[in-house]
Amino acid sequence: MAQVCELTGIKPMYGNNVSHANNKVRRRQMPNLKKKKYFIPELNRSMTLTLSTRAIRSIELQGGIMGAIFKARNEDLSNRLKKIRDQIKN
């Protein structure tokens, strides 16, 4: 499973652990991803999405999953969400 948020496109960040002796060791900071199920009334079905906790909070503020999908930038959305947005637009 890819460690990428399907709505915001957040990926792992890379950096260094730096010791007191200034030794640098590469590390990854993983995003806080959760699986969440949403019902899409326009398509009359539900979907399980892998979302960051920040994206889950944004969905609640924007009035549901459809509002968040339509407000999100095109390059941040996953291919699955792009297809859903196109199905509903047409």
Per-residue model confidence as pLDDT tens digits over 34-79: 999 999 999 999 999 999 999 999 999 999 999 999 999 999 999 9
Cα dihedral sign, 13-82-74-58: negative
Please give the model's pTM, rounded to 2 decimal places.
Answer: 0.84
pLDDT of residue 71: 94
Which pLDDT score is estimated for 89? Answer: 87
Question: Is the CATH code 2.40.10.10 the one for domain 13-89?
Answer: no
pLDDT tier, 1 (very low <50, low <70, confident <90, very high otherwise): low
In the chain, where the domains are located: 13-89
